[in-house]
């Protein structure tokens, strides 16, 4: 078994995250197939907004997943870059959920998605300024102080740049994760989509971010539209994205790599080759994964009962 932190306190540092291996996003239509696939999946990522403050079927679904897999949480509505106060109600519900779901870490996106308390279903790009860096860093500190769990920030697909940008994309992300001392959830499909749409070299971007902070990696599919690529999570992973994943895995030690598929959900069997491909690339890193056989989630993460 991989070396695990000795106390809950140690989990505050991203360096102590357990090495989980190959993951998949938990999606209701694929629930039964997913739960039967512990031979090819090591862990699952859930969207907390689907379960917070809820009971019944939703919670039972997550409880079933938790009985078989280690979990991580990936939120969509933290709105970390907004100037609205972080919702205390949201944090209360998040903490109540984490109390029993016990995710190994939690994450959300480097974006804003609310203005004056009004939320929208989009991950809006932030102006890449030093003031934004200071603002987001202070919000992540606030979040980590409150939730006391490892937090990762994810690079988004960004279709427009704001006219206020002072920093290159890589410098913006690097400054935030370094100053906030948090982990990075690196979405290599987002890197590729942005590189094609904005005409930059994805490897130059990757060479200029702190790969030592990558705790989790997302791979996903996109679609080509007349005006560019769109990060739909609704297609097989494209070859150049696999190439980026391989490049990153040769230079970093993430704790988990997972497949995101949210639209045009196929039969589970169609996802298996992609999960196997991730496994193949993961195995090339030589990293052992946590063997949770016989361990409860609390025991594995050394969380006091």
Residues making contact with Fe ion (CB under 5 A): 187, 218
Residue 157 Cβ vs Fe ion, minimum distance, rounded to whole Å: 8
CB atoms under 10 Å from CB of 191, counted, come to 23
Q: Could you tell me which residues come within 8 angstroms of residue 12 by beta carbon, excluding any fewer than 6 positions away? A: 144, 148, 149, 150
Nearest-CA neighbor of 193 among 217, 152, 216, 160?
A: 160
Q: Could you tell me which residues come within 8 angstroms of residue 217 by beta carbon, excluding any fewer than 6 positions away? A: 185, 186, 187, 188, 245, 248, 249, 254, 256, 257, 258
CB atoms under 10 Å from CB of 251, counted, come to 12
Strand partners, 25: 45
- Please, which residue, 49 or 187, has the CB nearer to Fe ion? 187
Is the CB of residue 37 less than 8 Å from the CB of residue 44?
no
Residue 192 Cβ vs Fe ion, minimum distance, rounded to whole Å: 12
- Please, which residue, 128 or 233, has the CB nearer to Fe ion? 233
Residue 258 Cβ vs Fe ion, minimum distance, rounded to whole Å: 9
- Please, which residue, 5 or 49, has the CB nearer to Fe ion? 49
- Please, which residue, 16 or 106, has the CB nearer to Fe ion? 106
- Please, which residue, 27 or 218, has the CB nearer to Fe ion? 218
- Please, which residue, 176 or 300, has the CB nearer to Fe ion? 176
Per 3-state DSSP, what percentage of the chain is helix, strand, and coil (rounded to 5)? 40, 20, 40
- Number of C-alpha atoms within 13 angstroms, CB side, residue 204? 8
Cα distance between residue 220 and residue 152, in whole Å = 18
Token pair in block for residue 161: 């740049």
Say what angle helices 130-147 and 169-180 make with each other, to 10 degrees.
40
Is the CB of residue 25 less than 8 Å from the CB of residue 62?
no
Q: Distance of alpha carbon 167 from its chain centroid, rounded?
A: 23
- Please, which residue, 136 or 300, has the CB nearer to Fe ion? 136
- Number of C-alpha atoms within 13 angstroms, CB side, residue 267? 2
Cα distance between residue 289 and residue 274, in whole Å = 19
- Please, which residue, 278 or 301, has the CB nearer to Fe ion? 278
DSSP for residue 52: T
- Please, which residue, 41 or 185, has the CB nearer to Fe ion? 185
């Amino acid at each position: 078994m991989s070396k695990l932190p000795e106390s809950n306190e140690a989990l505050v540092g991203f360096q102590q995250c357990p090495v989980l291996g190959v993951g998949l996003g938990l999606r209701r239509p694929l629930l039964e197939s997913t739960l039967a696939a512990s031979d090819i999946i090591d862990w699952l990522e859930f969207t907390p907004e689907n379960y917070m403050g809820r009971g019944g079927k939703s919670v039972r679904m997550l409880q079933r997943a938790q009985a078989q897999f280690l979990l991580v949480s990936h939120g969509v509505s933290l709105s970390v870059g907004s100037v609205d106060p972080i919702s205390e109600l949201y944090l209360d519900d998040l903490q109540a959920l984490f109390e029993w779901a016990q995710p190994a870490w939690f994450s959300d996106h480097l974006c804003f998605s609310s203005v004056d308390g009004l939320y929208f279903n989009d991950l809006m790009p932030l102006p890449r300024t030093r003031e934004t860096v200071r603002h987001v860093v202070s919000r992540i500190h606030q979040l980590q102080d409150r939730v006391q769990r490892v937090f990762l920030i994810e690079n988004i697909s960004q279709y427009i740049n704001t006219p206020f940008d002072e920093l290159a994309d890589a410098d913006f992300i690097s400054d935030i994760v370094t100053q906030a001392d948090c982990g990075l959830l690196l979405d290599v499909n987002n890197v590729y989509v942005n590189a094609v749409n904005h005409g930059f070299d994805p490897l130059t971007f990757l060479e200029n971010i702190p790969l030592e902070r990558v705790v989790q990696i997302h791979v996903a599919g996109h679609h080509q539209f007349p005006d560019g690529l769109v990060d739909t999570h609704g297609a097989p992973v494209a070859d150049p994205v696999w190439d980026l994943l391989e490049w990153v895995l040769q230079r970093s030690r993430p704790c988990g790599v997972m497949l995101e598929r949210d639209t045009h959900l196929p039969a589970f069997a169609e996802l298996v080759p992609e999960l196997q491909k991730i496994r193949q690339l993961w195995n090339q890193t030589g990293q052992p994964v946590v063997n949770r056989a016989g361990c409860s989630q609390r025991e594995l993460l050394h969380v006091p009962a």
